[in-house]
Structures are given as structure tokens and as C-alpha cells.
Structure 1
Amino acid sequence: MTLVPYQGDRLAQADIWLGLHDDELRRRAVTAARDRDADTLVSLSLAYLTQHAASGILTSPRTLEAYALGIRQFLVYADTQAVALLRPDRHAPQRYVQAMLAAGRKPAGVQLKVAAAGALYRALRWAGATEADPFRDVRVPRDPTSGIEKRPPYTEDELVEVLEHADPHTTFLIFLMAHAGLRISEALALTWDDIDEVSRRIHVTSGKGRKARRVTMSVRLARAARHFRALYGPGAPEHARYRPSGRAPQYVFRYATQQAARYHLIRVFTAAGVPFRGFHPGRKYAGTRLLQQVKDFGRVAAHLGHASVDTTRRGYARLAADDLKDDLAGW
């Protein structure tokens, strides 16, 4: 049985808005827009997303946090630029984009801020506060630099140095990212039943978009998994003492948040003298190494859990510059 995080608080907050009469819903939305009440406008937007977004109540907390931050940032801009929220000047949204780009924000980040502002206006239209859809035709330029160039994978030497300073806990987490190619959210959601060291398979039940998949473990990862289970798995002597945070015993890792994982990894990377560049360079290491071995973007995309091969090609795997050297030798 797959455990689903409790969503009662989020649904209850949405129900506050959903339970209002249409006239009262409109009145509160108009008042919040007039007063630039960021808390109320964020609450309205999250209620709309909970009810009407494609994923509804299952929209990830990280997505909601990103949207809430983006809405607040747009409201600050609107306040400083005297943008009328309910009747914005038709040039205001594109000026907002240009202002962010001029300030040095990357196009991908700008696109996220535009999506958040667009969600605010969808919520305001849902509430009947406006008919404006100012971000519908906004254009954000594409970044010609690929994601793997902007944030390259960790190198083999870097990972070797880090693993020399890692305890069994961080060793296993690093292998899950750098060999299994797991997202950090997928790794932290693993339960002991999801890991089968004998068949060298990991059952990912909380993939992006709630898609499940089976991931093959490398021999070294399977060995690390057996060692980790012997130390901290159910029935192991250290199992009870391993959980000071009180997280449910079926989960592999004692902490559930990315902030906690980041704290532990930064300590290990710092001790090794290797800059910590985030979690994704570990996945990119897995993608790049696997691509150089199998020469098949489709198989790499399946390993990483990408719905599109283009995602893998743009940001997660690259072939060596001289990859065709042997193939062209006889021309």
C-alpha cells in the first residue's frame, strides 16, 4: 500500500474559499487586490490551485511554495511600479519579464515567476474579481545554454573524494543519486520495502508527477544498500537509535526534508574540499555516465524517470566531445 501524505490542512484552507457565496468570494478577492494583501491573495491562489490545477490536492508542496513565493514577488513589483492589479496596463507583464532579465535572473527562473503570476490572475478570474489575463501572451526568451552546461555533473574524482569522508548514511544517499539517478525527493520517500538488494531493484513510488518506476541498482549501490540495512534496517541494533526525529520506522532515511539532507551532504562535501552544487549534479553524473556506456538517450531517460527524452538531452546527459572518434576512424 502506498502511503499518501496527509493533505487535510491544505484542503481545509481551500474549503474556506470554496464555501463562500460567489458575491462574498468576489468581494474578498477585490478587497485583497485593492489593499495589496499578499497573504490573502496567496491563500486565494493556493485554494484555486488545490481545486482546479491539473494535480489538484496532489500538487506537490514544493510547487505550491514556489508559486507562493512568485506571487509575493510579483506583488512587490506591482506595488513599486504602481500596477493596477485588477486592470493592469497591457505592457506591464512584459515589462515585469524584462525587469527580471535585466536584474540578472535566468530565463528558467523568469518562466517560473511568470507561471506564478499567471496563477494569481487565474485565481482572481475564478473569484470573479477581474477578467484580465495579462500574462497570456507574455514571452520569455529561451536560454541557449543547456542545463548540463550551466550546472554540470559531479566528476568521478569529486565523488570519490566525497565518499572517502562519508558515513554509511550519506554514502547510501549519494549512491542513490549518482548511481540510481534518484531525485532527492524520491530518495527521501523510500521505504525499506522499496529496496530489493537481491534483484538489485528499487521501486520508486513517489516520482515526479506521481509516476512510479523500477530502477536498477549498480553492484556498488546494492552493496551499500545491504550494508545500510544491516546497520539501520528493521531489526538492526541501531534501528531504534537511528530515528531521533521520530519519523515512521518504514522510511529508509530518518529525515524527510531536503533542507536536512542538504545540511548533512554539505558537511561531507566540505570535509572533502568539494563544492556542493546541489542534488541534481548527482543525477546528471548518473545520466552522463550511463549515456557514455549505452549510447541511448531513451534508456537513460527511463533510468532517470524523465517523461521526455528531450529533458534528458538538454539537461542531464552528454556524450564526450570525441565520442565519434572510433566510428569515424575508417572514413
Structure 2
Amino acid sequence: MKITKITNKNGNTVYRSQIYLGTDVITGKKVKATITASTQKELKRLARQRQETFNLNGQTVHKIIKADTFKELSALWFDTYKPTVKPQTYKCTRCVFNKHILPRLGDVKLIKINTPFCQDFVNKVSASGYKEYKSVIAFVKRVLQYAVSLQLIPFNPILNTIIPKVRRNTHAQQKAKHLTQEEVKQLLDYLDSLPPTYANQYDTTLYKILLATGLRINEALALTWSDIDLDKSTVTVNKTLIGDTGKVGTPKSQSAYRTISIDKKTVLMLRLYKNRQAQFFKEIGFTSRAVFATGRTEYGTRPNTQKRLDKHLESAGLGRFTFHAFRHTHASLLLNAGISYKELQHRLGHSNISMTLDIYSHLSKDKEKEAVTFYEKALNSL
């Protein structure tokens, strides 16, 4: 086997060889393969592997998969990735690639992607300020490993890179957005002062149930009346809207399936809203069991409901926030009232308690002062 030593412009050395695999039993043509590796030992190992693969396949080449650039490779990877995840996860992954990966790597040829190149990519992504930079690196690692399995590259060059430890200013880092008690009161007072139209009752019920349960907005919009037991004062989460499609899917994780209790005031509000909805739908000739059906579609969508929320916040004299702020506010109110993190984990549908602790471990000023009071009581009891 003739081995050629090649030194690239950047000083990196690779070894390349063209080997003869045999005669294809189907086409009758001689089959050769070009192999490249970082060491001669690795080159010989890959040559043996390629020969064994050719023999195991019945001494024929079934299909040659080609991908010259990272963009072409990622397209092949997405074909295998899509059936393994939920549509919303696939959509989010696509967004990550389009925004953070393909602009940097898309047009780069696979033969140019070596360890120094990957280290430079890792450094730049880490310094970009994108807080999920490790996920970006992990996706690139998976795609390149897929290339190895397709024998498009000899090894995964990003495996030998070092991920920089990014130090962030914890004081400047934005905490989970939640409303203060004063802001909650201001919002509730505003909602109670609205004219008693069905649209206002729809919005008020949605906002108050989000505050009372901590549901994700798409979990709330997917609720049907069969999910709410007004006699037992419970709400069961067993589905969610898929992104902004208006279609229903399964919750994001097994722990997201849950049944939580609600207070008597919220139960009364839901009873009144249910009766008003039935009357309104009868008037317009619409039928639906969805709690937040719009009267035109079975389920409301987040973009439309966010637009209405923006208008209400402006009228209430409050700054803009997204629906997730209701979830954080629910958690904040319960923590300050003394709920345990384990119970909060269940109500929010987190897969593990570390997620709950990471997001909500910061105490409010009132709770922090309360901690001092407990300490003083403990000392006095000695």
C-alpha cells in the first residue's frame, strides 16, 4: 500500500492512500477507495475496515453518499434526526443551525474541517454571548460524528478541542422575569376594571389561570374542559400545542404530565367563564370543548394572544413581558409563601429538581428578610 504524506498550508500533516478493494460482483468494475488519516497507523486501520466492509456487503458498492460541505452533511444528518424527535424540537434545532452553525460552517468543505479549525469555531461560539453555546458545539459534534459513520471523514476533529469556560457576570445576568407583588396587584386591578365583553373575559381568564397554575402558555391553550375538574379543583396537563401551528401534541417530557390543584377563587372564575363561553358559542354557532377556543379556531395561538397581552400591558401601565413571566411569577409567589422546591417542581412539570433550583433559587427581598427572622428565633430559643 502506497502512502503519501501531505502537508497542508496551515502546517497540518495527513496521510493518504488509494487502495484496491476488489471487483464489484454486480458491475464487474474494479473498486478503489481513497483514504485519508492523521497518522499512518490510523490510515492502515481504516484501510482494513474499508476492505472488511466491502467484503461484508457482498463485494459490491450499494450506494455512495456524497457531501462536500458541512451544509450538505447537515442535510443528510437532519434526515436521520427528524424521525427521532418531536416536531417542535426539530424546528428549534433547525433554528439553532440556521442562526449559529450554518452561517459559520455551511460553505466549509469537509476536508478543511480539522481540529485547529474546530477549535477556532468553538472559541468564537463560546465568546459570542449565546448562553446555549454548548448545545451548538454538541450539535456540530453529532453531525461530524455522523460523517465518520458514513466514512466521509476519518475521525471527528471536534473531539480534541477544548471548550473555554465562559465566566458571566452573575449580577448583570438577567434572572427569570417575574412580576413583583405590586405589579401583580396592578395587573389584577386593571383586569377587574375591564368592560364585561367576552374577549375581555377570555383574556382575563387566561392570564389568571396562568398565574394560578404556572402552566406553560401552550399547555394552557391546549386545555379542554375534560382536563379541568371543577368539583375536585384540579387541572390535568396531558397535551400541549405544537409551537405556533395550532395543532395538539404530547407534553415536552414525561414529567410534564401532571395534575395540580387550584384555589376556590380560580374555580369560581372558571365556572363563570365556562357558562359565558357556552352562551357565546351558541350565539355564533360554534362548537368546541377547548377552554380557550377563539370562536373561529379550535385553539388560540401564542402570537395572537401575545399581541393582545401587549395591548393590555400598555393600557395597565406595565412594561412588556411574555407569557413565561406568568409562570415565573407563580413560582415566585409560591416560594415566598413557603412551598417546597419539590412541590414546585411537580406543579411546573420540570423533569428534575435541579432545573427548578437553577431557575428559582434566588429569593425575593421579603423572603431574605424572613430568613433573618427565623435565625433570630432560633437563637432566642437556645
Inter-CA distance 243–315: structure 2 relative to 1 (3 Å threshold)? farther
Aligned to 1:251, the other structure's residue is in SS state coil
Task: Give yes or no for the alignment of 1:45 onto 2:77.
Answer: yes
Runs of at least 4 residues of structure 1 off by over 6 A? 241-244
Q: Equivalents in 1 of 2:236, 2:362: separation in Å? A: 26
CA distance in 2, matches of 1:220, 1:148: 36
| Conserved? CA contact 1:181–1:287, under 8 Å | yes
Q: What's the offset of the Cα at 1:112?
A: 3.4
Q: 1:121 aligns with which of 144, 153, 159?
A: 144
1:322 and 2:350 aligned: no
Structure 1 residues 26 and 171: CA distance shift in structure 2, 3 A: same
Residue of 251, 255, 280 corresponding to 1:238:
280
Corresponding position of 1:106: 130
2:90 paired residue number = 64
- Residues of 2 paired with 1:322 and 1:286: CA distance? 20
RMSD across aligned positions (CA): 3.3
Cα gap change, 1:231/1:23 in structure 2, threshold over 3 Å: closer, same or farther?
Answer: farther
Unaligned 5+ runs, structure 1: 1-21
Structure 2 equivalent of residue 250 of structure 1 = 289
Specify the alignment match of 1:12 in structure 2.
Answer: none
Question: Based on CA coordinates, which of the two structures has the bigger radius of gyration?
Answer: 2
Structure 1 position 311 matched with structure 2 position 355:
yes
- Letter aligned with residue 306 of structure 2: R
Q: Percent identity?
A: 19
TM-score by length of structure 2 reads 0.65
In structure 1, the partner of 2:337 is: 293
Alpha-carbon deviation of 1:298?
0.9
For the Cα contact (< 8 Å) 1:181–1:304, is it kept in 2?
yes
Give unmatched runs, 5+ long, in structure 2.
1-60, 195-199, 240-250, 294-298
Asked whether the equivalents of residues 203 and 213 of structure 1 are also in contact (C-alpha less than 8 Å), the reply is yes
Aligned with 1:154 (options 179, 184, 196):
179
TM-score scaled by length of structure 1: 0.74
TM superposition shift of 1:200: 1.1
Distance 1:156 1:135, change over 3 A: farther
Could you tell me which residue of structure 2 aligns to residue 218 of structure 1?
Answer: 263
Structure 1 residue 49 displacement after superposition: 1.8
Q: 1:13 maps to which residue?
A: none
Shift of 1:213: 0.6
1:148–1:314 Cα contact (<8 Å) kept: no
User: How many pairs were matched up?
Assistant: 288
- Residue 114 of structure 1 deviates from its aligned partner by 2.7
Superposed displacement of residue 128, structure 1: 4.8
Which residue type is aligned with residue 170 of structure 2? T
User: Residues of 2 paired with 1:302 and 1:71: CA distance?
Assistant: 32
2:280 is paired with a residue whose SS is: coil
What's the offset of the Cα at 1:239? 2.3
- Bigger strand fraction: 2
Q: Secondary structure at the match of 1:214?
A: strand
Deviation per residue, 1:88-110 (Å, 9 max, x gap): 1213334334323434x232x32
Task: Please point out which of 107, 118, 122 is paired with 1:93.
Answer: 118
The corresponding residue for 1:201 is 234
